[in-house]
Amino acid sequence: MSWLLAIVQTLLFMALSPLLAGWLKWCKCHLQNRRAPSLLQPYRDLLKLTRKQPVVAEHASWIFTRAPYIIFSATVLAASVVPLIAVDLPTAASADVIVMVAFFGAARFFLALAGLDIGTAFGGMGSSREMTISSLAEPAMLMAIFTLTMTASTTNLSFAIEHVLNEGLVLRPSFVFALFALILVTIAETGRIPVDNPATHLELTMIHEAMILEYSGRHLALIEWASQVKLMLYGVLIANIFFPWGIAQSFSGAALGYGLLAIVGKLAVLALILALSETLFAKMRLFRVQEYLSFAYLLGLLGMLSHIILEAAR
């Protein structure tokens, strides 16, 4: 039963993530006085791409054609670790949050390799930028998550969220810092506006897009889908760690339905906030990104420190 639920939950991750991307685009268009595409547009795009024949460059090695599958499966495996509508997942027993970050690392490694593989200038530039940013973002993310795991004294996401739930409403200074740090890291890791512009057509400013310029057809569809799953995954992390109320603690139908409703509502609000910040802020210069990420790291570190100093038993 619980394994079935884990599989259903992972499938939900895959099914709902294009909808989240569509909703984000819809909010953004309305905020910027543009006509919004339908909420289902990302699904249509993915479907259209899967029907097209992928064009592979002459000099591409096997890495280039295998990478989309590896990236997609690593991202989906990472998603299976995160509790979406119910805590107490069987997958949680075998993989904790550090494994999740490692899955992301593996996906990113292959994406960067694929960018380098073709040998175009833009691909290599995108890979080098992506690696620079992620090497700064990853410690910041781990710091933010360690704050949670130190509070719950487990690195297991399911148990940690359950711990936060059972504790009730406790205002923790460390969680405030960790929340801000995780939001900053999310924006950097999913390539949203102050760091990277997902809708750009100018190759020189691209980061994520530069690596996948050569992809087409179903390969591109898989990579796009993986990045949508990744965006949703970060959203779920923020929503369920810091505002876990509503998530199902038992496997009854009503609790699960309520959990699904709660997470959809939370993600909709988070996407609205993201769309608002993307409308208000301009993309920053590439060399300012390390300043931004070191601020995120500082926030994570402060969260950890305030856990030790302000919340310690005396």
Which residues of the shown chain bind another protein in the complex (CB under 8 A)?
Answer: 167, 170-174, 176-177, 302, 306, 309-311, 313-314
C-alpha span between 248 and 12 (Å, rounded): 15
Q: What is the DSSP letter of 203?
A: G
CB of 301 to another protein, least distance (A): 11
Q: Which is nearer to another protein, 203 or 311 (CB)?
A: 311
Q: What is the DSSP letter of 39?
A: T
Do 100 and 82 meet the contact criterion of CB atoms below 8 Å apart?
A: yes
CB of 303 to another protein, least distance (A): 9
Q: Which is nearer to another protein, 255 or 284 (CB)?
A: 284
C-alpha span between 66 and 56 (Å, rounded): 12
Place of tokens 């027993």: 93
Q: HSE-up of 76 (CA within 13 Å, CB side)?
A: 20
CB of 314 to another protein, least distance (A): 5
CB of 170 to another protein, least distance (A): 5
Q: Which is nearer to another protein, 75 or 174 (CB)?
A: 174
Q: Which is nearer to another protein, 179 or 271 (CB)?
A: 179
C-alpha span between 120 and 213 (Å, rounded): 9
Q: Which is nearer to another protein, 164 or 206 (CB)?
A: 164
CB of 251 to another protein, least distance (A): 28
Q: Which is nearer to another protein, 121 or 313 (CB)?
A: 313
Q: Which is nearer to another protein, 65 or 154 (CB)?
A: 154
What are the counts of helices (DSSP H) followed by strands (DSSP E) for the chain?
Answer: 12, 0
C-alpha span between 143 and 302 (Å, rounded): 9
Do 142 and 101 meet the contact criterion of CB atoms below 8 Å apart?
A: yes
C-alpha span between 67 and 195 (Å, rounded): 24
Over the range 87-106, which residues count as b (16 or more CB within 10 Å of their CB) and which as e? bbbebbeebbbebbbebbeb
CB of 313 to another protein, least distance (A): 5
CB of 307 to another protein, least distance (A): 9
CB of 88 to another protein, least distance (A): 21
Closest of 169, 166, 145, 143 to residue 157, by C-alpha:
145
Encoded tokens for 305 = 């420190």
Q: Which is nearer to another protein, 129 or 307 (CB)?
A: 307
C-alpha span between 172 and 303 (Å, rounded): 9
Using alpha carbons only, give the angle 57, 60, 63 rounded to the nearest 5 degrees: 135
